[in-house]
Amino acid sequence: MDSHLNTPRSHTSPSTHTGPGETALRTALGNDGYATLRRHRRLTDTALGPLAELLWTTAQEADHLHGELRSYARNTCDHARHVPAHANQTETVPLGFLQHTSRAIDVNATRYAQQMNQLNLVIEAYKLALLAV
């Protein structure tokens, strides 16, 4: 938990991969704008606070979905490595797993693309709200 903001921390740390949601925020807002966003999330007297919170949670969800896609990719690679070892035993080749994973990846990739699109829309709305303040 990030005790300062009373919200769960991102699954990333400075030494690990930064997700595309957080990267999009930092790119669109810059470092100062990113810090301002964190302050705006605490505002309750204007619509800017809830909009900043929506922007933050939208980016976090994009990062979560991206993490799921990476996990599916790792699992699929792990299973695919076992196929040559069982090539002579067709009943043990994990093709069912690969078919299920393929559908799961398709659904998750679609959700991720939609989330990144939504993130871009919320970023633009947030920037417009900042101009109005």
Please count the other Cβ atoms lying within 10 Å of the Cβ belonging to residue 124.
Answer: 11
Kindly list the distances between the CA atom of residue 95 and the CA atoms of 80, 86, 108, in Å, as whole numbers in the listed order: 9, 11, 20
Which DSSP letter does residue 14 get?
T
Give per-residue pLDDT as tens, 48-97: 999 999 999 999 999 999 999 999 888 888 777 766 665 666 555 556 66
The pLDDT of residue 14 is: 42
For the CA atoms of the chain, what is the radius of gyration? Answer: 20
Do residues 62 and 116 touch, judged by C-beta distance below 8 A? yes
Measured distance CA(129)–CA(101) in Å, rounded: 41
- pLDDT tens figures, 2-60: 433 343 444 444 445 689 999 999 999 999 999 999 999 998 888 899 999 999 999 99
Domain ranges (residues) in the chain:
20-132
pTM value surpassing 0.85 = no
- Say what the pLDDT of residue 6 is: 40
Q: What is the pLDDT of residue 91?
A: 59
